[in-house]
Amino acid sequence: MRFKFLCALALVLALSSSSFAAGNLAFIPDIRDSQVMPPNNYICQTMLVGNKLITFRSWLDIPYVSNPVEPEYHRLNVYIPEEYFHEGGTINGYTAKTAPILMPNGVGGYMPGRAFVPANDMRHGGPNIALAALAHGYVVIAPAIRGRTLEHGKAPALIVDYKAAVRWVRHNKDKLPAGDTEKIISDGLSAGGALSSLLGATGNAKDYEPYLKAIGASEERDDIFASVVYCPITDLDHADMPYEWVFNGVNTYHLGPAREMDENMKAASEALKKAFPAYLNSLSLKGYTLDENGNGTFRDFIEGLYISAAQKALDAGENVLGLDWLTVKDGKVIAADLAKYAVWATRMKAAPAFDSLNMASYENNEFADKHFTEYSFTHSTAQKPAMADEAVIRLMNPLNFIGVEGVDTAKHWRIRHGVKDRDTSLAVPAILALKLRDAGYDADVAAVWGVPHDGNYDLPELFEWIDSICK
Ligand code: DHB
């Protein structure tokens, strides 16, 4: 009752503030004030989560840079649980001072990403991550992010924006009514997972500075505490190789109507599969290698991730029997066969999976309709093949920044990939995790049974992990 009264009072204050245009009540944020959290321009919202009413305050559409080249996207939303506005208010042991700040991004397909809005979207049978996080006691700050279809949205725009949003949060450390700015956690899936991993990997890396300056980002740190990564479409300049390491020999692809790969694609598959062991070995991952046939401890690691996923599902009472790629004996999953797995999972993309020969993939578009690998550039079937700027390709790959002097990579990582995911090879998130571990970071990586290309489907477990690193 008290909350409702305070919220109503706040609304009256907000309506009387000068930022509201009289007449149509449209909220018109002042671009010149872009670096500042507006104190009173919030609305109160109450939503049902399970059988509990959750009340929170929402600041919407705050510009987060002073030179917003895409003003529709250079904005973020701040959501804070109502409890934190009241003396002694706590949720799950968090207070206004200690609550972690979750910054989910809504990027998919390297397209522009809208700011997350708390909702019972029911995608996974209940609230989305923003609403569930508020109910759990986190502060949520959700930036919109530029993407490849905008005039100013090509690589590396998306990571520049995510960093700028983090800097905005730090710039407003003393103005934010709640949230620990040293506990910022990113989250995303697919291209958004790649983005989350980039933000986590590249904290304070100088290389992005000119881009940040150009959009008028705050001069603040942009390192974060933890990175949550689902099925990341990342390591773009190498990911074609592990895709073929897994799917070579499966010649029908399913992006669009099911089709057979043509001779160029099959040749690419052969060449890329052969090239993968040398790439993997060049990373010098401690204890993980491949021989020239693609066998070895790294393959064992990948098969082991599938075995663990199946075992967890089996222990939870799910049926994992009857699959020719998985061996189960006496309630124990004892083997997974990657070659048979590929036949079962089916191939989604023709070879090369990311840097497409005709230069028409999402990723080619992200790199301004250019190639970004030597193989596809030299074997291009496009009318006017072009190669993306090497420096831009570098800025899009988190692996280039992990363990590098002067870069503040996030300490904690949770990386998940569905067992049914064929958008990229499980080797991609696995390499990310191993590289992080080798550099001394805490990287929790797992494949998840029954899950396709998706994210934010295991919020109770995710929040348990966040609580374990924050408390
Ligand atoms: C996404 C999926 C893809 O298969 C891809 O190549 C790039 C992005 C996505 O869902 O974000």
Q: Do residues 257 and 211 share a domain?
A: no
Note the pLDDT of residue 54. 98
Note the pLDDT of residue 220. 97
Q: Which domain holds residue 44?
A: 2-235+455-470
- The domain boundary, picked from 325, 353, 381, lies at 353
Q: Is there a domain that residue 411 lies in?
A: no
> Nearest C-alpha to atom 8 of ligand 1 is from which residue?
109
Query: Ligand 1 in contact with 431 (CB < 6 A)?
Result: no
**Backbone φ, ψ for residue 354 (5° rounding):** -115, -55
Q: Do residues 10 and 143 share a domain?
A: yes
Q: Do residues 104 and 211 share a domain?
A: yes
Q: Is there a domain that residue 296 lies in?
A: yes
Band the pLDDT of 215: cuts 50, 70, 90: very high
- Of 20-29, 268-277, 279-288, 361-370, least confident by mean pLDDT is 20-29
Query: Ligand 1 in contact with 362 (CB < 6 A)?
Result: yes
CA of 359 to the centre of ligand 1 (A): 15
Query: Ligand 1 in contact with 344 (CB < 6 A)?
Result: no
3 state SS for the chain: CHHHHHHHHHHHHHHHCCCECCCCCCECCCHHHCCCCCCCCEEEEEEEECCEEEEEEEEEEEECCCCCCCCCCCEEEEEEEHHHHCCCCCECCECCCCCCEEEECCCCCCCCECCCCCCCCCCCCCCCHHHHHHHHCCEEEEECECCCCCCCCCCCHHHHHHHHHHHHHHHCCCCCCCCCCCCEEEEEECHHHHHHHHHHHCCCCHHHHHHHHHCCCCCCCCCCCEEEEECCCCCCCCCHHHHHHHHCCCCEECCCCCEECCHHHHHHHHHHHHHHHHHHHHCCCCCCCCCCCCCCHHHHHHHHHHHHHHHHHHHCCCCCCCCCCEEEECCEEEEECHHHHHHHHCECCCCCCCCCCCCCCHHHHHCCCCECCHHHHHCCCCCCCCECCHHHHHHCCHHHCCCCCCCCCCCEEEEEEECCCCCCCCHHHHHHHHHHHHCCCEEEEEEECCCCCCCCCCHHHHHHHHHHHHC
pLDDT tens for each residue of 260-287: 999 999 999 999 999 999 999 999 999 9
Residue the block writes with tokens 């407003």: 172
> Nearest C-alpha to atom 7 of ligand 1 is from which residue?
109
**Does residue 29 carry a pLDDT above 60?**
no
CA of 108 to the centre of ligand 1 (A): 6
**Does residue 196 carry a pLDDT above 90?**
yes
- The domain boundary, picked from 353, 382, 412, lies at 353
Average pLDDT over residues 16-42: 54
Average pLDDT over residues 187-198: 99
> Nearest C-alpha to atom 4 of ligand 1 is from which residue?
423
Average pLDDT over residues 359-384: 98
pTM of the predicted model as reported, rounded to 2 decimal places = 0.94
Q: Is there a domain that residue 377 lies in?
A: no
Q: Do residues 222 and 256 share a domain?
A: no
**Does residue 26 carry a pLDDT above 90?**
no
Q: Do residues 251 and 345 share a domain?
A: yes
Q: Is there a domain that residue 389 lies in?
A: no
> Nearest C-alpha to atom 5 of ligand 1 is from which residue?
109
Q: Is there a domain that residue 361 lies in?
A: no
CA of 111 to the centre of ligand 1 (A): 9
Domain of residue 18, CATH code: 3.40.50.1820
Average pLDDT over residues 229-246: 99
Note the pLDDT of residue 269. 99
Note the pLDDT of residue 39. 83
Q: Do residues 312 and 215 share a domain?
A: no
Q: Do residues 146 and 255 share a domain?
A: no
CA of 234 to the centre of ligand 1 (A): 10
Q: How far apart are the first and last CA of the chain?
A: 30
- Could you tell which of 105, 233, 235, 236 is best to mutate to test the pocket of ligand 1, judged by most ligand atoms within 8 Å of the CB? 233
Q: Do residues 169 and 281 share a domain?
A: no
Q: Do residues 251 and 346 share a domain?
A: yes
Split into its structural domains, the chain has a count of 2
Q: Do residues 219 and 264 share a domain?
A: no
Band the pLDDT of 3: cuts 50, 70, 90: very low
The percent of residues above 90 in pLDDT, for the chain, comes to 92
Band the pLDDT of 17: cuts 50, 70, 90: very low
Q: Please, what is the average pLDDT of the chain?
A: 94
Query: Ligand 1 in contact with 108 (CB < 6 A)?
Result: yes
pLDDT tens for each residue of 99-154: 999 999 999 999 999 999 999 999 999 999 999 999 999 999 999 999 999 999 99
Note the pLDDT of residue 34. 61
Average pLDDT over residues 375-394: 98
> Nearest C-alpha to atom 1 of ligand 1 is from which residue?
109
Query: Ligand 1 in contact with 166 (CB < 6 A)?
Result: no
Q: Do residues 199 and 253 share a domain?
A: no
C-alpha to C-alpha distance for 196 and 233, rounded to whole angstroms: 11
- The domain boundary, picked from 300, 320, 353, lies at 353
Query: Ligand 1 in contact with 133 (CB < 6 A)?
Result: no
Q: Is there a domain that residue 392 lies in?
A: no
Band the pLDDT of 38: cuts 50, 70, 90: confident
C-alpha to C-alpha distance for 191 and 201, rounded to whole angstroms: 15
**Does residue 463 carry a pLDDT above 50?**
yes
Query: Ligand 1 in contact with 111 (CB < 6 A)?
Result: no
Q: Do residues 227 and 246 share a domain?
A: no
Average pLDDT over residues 426-444: 99
Band the pLDDT of 9: cuts 50, 70, 90: very low
Note the pLDDT of residue 37. 87
**Does residue 410 carry a pLDDT above 90?**
yes
Q: Is there a domain that residue 26 lies in?
A: yes
CA of 61 to the centre of ligand 1 (A): 27
Q: Is there a domain that residue 424 lies in?
A: no
